[in-house]
Structure 1
């Protein structure tokens, strides 16, 4: 039991923090409106893109855990967006997926940044068909 009898799990605290951050970058509530007023819409737009990437990374992990199959793609190009979340870069990946090129903007681990020529895993979101980055492919 916590100090005030309300102990949340780490996962619940992270989910709460993500919801608060999304409200701020959407300009909702006093903090969101103040952020947009003082930092400008360019900043909040950039943060919305970074939040979307973070959500996609979380969704890809959930899909993999649920057993959704992955596909292997080859990195053609990596472009840094200049944004980071918890020191992890948000990048634009141009991938070769079975002869067709796919672009994914995603958050990647700073310890496992994909490079041109690397094989990576992607997972297809079942409802929308959107391709999500699922990490570096295991090396043989």
Structure 2
């Protein structure tokens, strides 16, 4: 028994806390945010904001799928790397054939499930913003 009570945080709590810290730094909030922007520049903080928004988008898509928001199938016409990776997962621009039109969607994808040209993927429309979101590879028959 020690002088200080030690409480252990779950891995999810630590991840949420880390993501909140990254959001604060990217937005220039707090001492670390201001120092990061001052020493590393606005280009770095903008790249950091893009990275955290990609993480939030992936979490949002998972929550929408869990809530039962319908998905639709689209065919991959092209894939372009943005040069940004988060936890070794690339952020890409997917050009998709959705019905009669071609659309571009930016998404953070798993490096284990990178879609190829000609493959089917799932997309969904965000009910609040009407934004088209990448929802993963379509199940294979």
With normalisation by structure 1, the TM-score equals 0.90
8 A Cα contact 1:57 1:132, kept in partner: no
Pair member with larger Rg: 2
Provide the residue aligned with 2:125 in structure 1.
124
Are residues 4 and 138 of structure 1, via their aligned partners in 2, closer, same or farther at CA, if it must alter by over 3 Å? farther
1:133 aligns with 2:134: yes
Looking at structure 1, the residues matched to 6 and 20 of structure 2 have their Cα atoms a distance apart, in angstroms, of: 23
Would you say how many aligned residue pairs link Structure 1 and Structure 2? 138
Q: Following TM superposition, by how much is the alpha carbon of 1:102 offset from its aligned partner in structure 2, in angstroms?
A: 1.9
- What is the CA RMSD across the aligned residues, in angstroms? 1.5
Q: Following TM superposition, by how much is the alpha carbon of 1:9 offset from its aligned partner in structure 2, in angstroms?
A: 3.0
8 A Cα contact 1:106 1:133, kept in partner: yes
Cα displacement string for residues 7-54 of structure 1 (whole angstroms, at most 9, x for unaligned residues): 333322222211111111111111111111222111211221121111
Alignment map for 1:55-74 (pairs within 5 Å): 55-74=56-75
1:91 aligns with 2:81: no
Are residues 6 and 119 of structure 1, via their aligned partners in 2, closer, same or farther at CA, if it must alter by over 3 Å? same
Moved over 2 A (4+): 3-13
Provide the residue aligned with 1:27 in structure 2.
28
Provide the residue aligned with 1:53 in structure 2.
54
Q: Following TM superposition, by how much is the alpha carbon of 1:5 offset from its aligned partner in structure 2, in angstroms?
A: 4.5
8 A Cα contact 1:77 1:95, kept in partner: yes
Are residues 139 and 40 of structure 1, via their aligned partners in 2, closer, same or farther at CA, if it must alter by over 3 Å? same
Provide the residue aligned with 1:111 in structure 2.
112
Looking at structure 2, the residues matched to 124 and 9 of structure 1 have their Cα atoms a distance apart, in angstroms, of: 32
8 A Cα contact 1:70 1:122, kept in partner: yes
8 A Cα contact 1:77 1:94, kept in partner: yes
With normalisation by structure 2, the TM-score equals 0.90
Cα displacement string for residues 49-106 of structure 1 (whole angstroms, at most 9, x for unaligned residues): 1211111111101110111111111111111111111111111111111112222111
